[in-house]
Structure 1
């Protein structure tokens, strides 16, 4: 028992047998967790005890070269259950797969049991955010529907603000003031824009999202104090803490958001995706509120970056007339005056 006590995988598998799991289930978990441990040892110089979000994300990325998406989702759920169990029994401080699963989860729009936060409640929450970086992150997520990885991948030239700015926007949005460009080209672990990316943009096609006055104000307040960076890509969102001046990662965004949602009573350790308010919840909030206000599912799908070539082609060619005007007419304010 002493050896088992020091091996988290053996500890987990032993408890599976105590809970009456059948042999087939046991063997499936044993195989997948063994493969994960081998990957950590050979590719990441890590172990299940020391694995971080980035280690888990690298494993999922590696699986994509070998398996179908359905298989990857199954393997990820095994690892998530493994770490959730270790967290509950006090064998691990935090579930590093939690954010990975959140990034993989795109089923939130049809989840009737998900926490329901009203617009006035959200406005009160946002109004309590004083730090310009934290406030701009939350407002950007709430008003664009971006995934946290897409937010982290934003570079200065992906923004074209309505007033003066010290950078030139990329050609795709040159002349389209008050807009934000989401590239389909960024993939975890690969180089784009001259740098290696720490997150993926899960879009098959480019998306241009309008920026209203409230979002522009939040971005300008952040950019006024944004640290200098050594990155040639000039990331929009940089760390002001331990990784000063370096691009934020989804893990950082998750911790920034949950620091505040925990204080608001909207997040608890061990809580499920339907209960906890994380960066991905803001995408759900954006989707439901803008869809209800506009009655136009097509525009919302375009802004979310959902894969549908006919919808994307239609709105890409009609961005200035329909998408922008509809968005600006119906987008909600997220901060009380």
Structure 2
């Protein structure tokens, strides 16, 4: 294995770096992104020039070759990947220096922290959802659209995190057993306790929930209906945590991970013309786009930024406490009166 070699003996620097990203706990999606960019840079270099021998002019030429082909923010992202690669390989002693340092100082392009995103109307999104026939795929998309949760939070949901007023489901499944849901029927609980590599409810998790405080999110009739259709085909699972969403193809009965959800969403977004390679956050519809859609449309319909921030799980403790203590009046009533309809 490359990890057993001295860094100065690395014959495939890109492979060495990607392997170390694995050891550092980076996701497959992150590793694939880095490798795609770094292999592209490797192929760009003149024959006989290795990444270790590349100069700052080689790096500048590569960055310049991207301009006009991809968005400015993507140019900046690719440059940042290359900069990190060189910085790391220098630190471990495989390279003598980082030729990207000067390039980064002189670049005009920057990573767009808050890109303008595709504007999709509620009727257009309703049509998109109607085209998703698979019960699991529709349940994933509708849950993201109706709750605004992050993809990792979606994957970490267990049956105990879902409370529904449906006798058929409650008799068949052990739902809503969390005490916080005892007096809050038709709701989902998003815990702050899930971390990558940490054990929760008897299962080691592969995704983190980024919330600092737990959040109870209402489940309206459309989401309840969509989840019931999913339960009709949901495979049994061997996980002691009883995940809400599990695989129906590869990894049959295993908890879905964020990468699997991203692939599912990408498939339907491509079919709709809402995703293309190199499109970036401003153009492509991803699971994170659904969080943006939820925020924009629910905020516009309610005029209540506090409720939306509470549901997103990104408000200060004092505000969260306000909505937690008056959940029925301020959260459920506001949500149910204003949440958009997605099913025909």
TM-score (norm 2): 0.71
1:31 paired to 2:67: no
Superposition pairs of residues 37-56 of structure 1, within 5 angstroms? none
Q: Give 1:133's match in structure 2, choosing from 136, 142, 145.
A: 136
Residues 208 and 37 of structure 1, relative CA distance in 2, 3 Å threshold: farther
Which has the higher Rg, Structure 1 or Structure 2?
2
Pick closer, same or farther for the CA change 1:5–1:15 going to 2, 3 Å.
farther
Q: Which residue of 2 aligns with 1:70?
A: none
Number of the residue aligned with 2:312:
304
Q: What is the CA–CA distance in structure 2 between the aligned matches of 1:150 and 1:138, rounded to whole Å?
A: 13
Note if contact 1:119-1:334 (Cα within 8 Å) is conserved in structure 2.
Answer: yes
Report the alpha carbon displacement of residue 134 of structure 1 after superposing the two structures with TM: 0.1
Match of 2:213 among 201, 205, 216: 205
Change (3 A) 1:234 1:19: same
Q: Greater CA deviation, 168-177 or 142-151?
A: 168-177
**Which residue matches 2:197?**
189
Q: Does 1:176 align with 2:216?
A: no
How many Å apart are 1:269 and its aligned residue?
A: 1.2
Matched, 1:117 2:173: no
Alignment size in residue pairs: 265
- Work out the CA distance in 2 between the residues paired with 1:335 and 1:261: 18
Match of 2:247 among 239, 243, 267: 239
Deviations 1:14-55 (A, max 9, x none): 386325379xx98764123566999xxxxxxxxxxxxxxxxx
Question: Partner of 1:319 in structure 2?
Answer: 327
Measure how far apart 1:123 and its partner are.
0.4
**Residues of 1 paired with 2:148 and 2:92: CA distance?**
32
1:167 corresponding residue in structure 2? 174
SS in 1 for 2:217: strand
Where does residue 57 of structure 2 map in the other structure? 17
Structure 1 residues 168 and 237: alpha-carbon distance in aligned structure 2, compared to 1, 3 A threshold: closer
Structure-1 residue corresponding to 2:161: 158
Could you say what the CA RMSD is over the residues aligned between the two structures, in angstroms?
Answer: 2.9
Shift in CA distance, 21/29, structure 1 to aligned 2, threshold 3 Å: farther
* 2:300 aligned residue (292, 295, 300): 292
Structure 1 length normalisation: TM-score? 0.72
Deviation at 1:335, TM superposition (A): 2.1
Structure 1 pair 4–140 and aligned structure 2 pair: CA distance change class (3 A): closer
In the aligned structure 1, how far is the partner of 2:287 from the partner of 2:93? 29
Cα gap change, 1:303/1:28 in structure 2, threshold over 3 Å: closer, same or farther?
closer
Q: 1:18 to 1:236 in 2, by over 3 A?
A: same
Checking the alignment, whether the CA contact within 8 Å between 1:203 and 1:307 is kept in structure 2 is no
Quick one: distance in 1 between partners of 2:160 and 2:240?
11
Q: Which residue pairs with 1:272 in the alignment?
A: 280
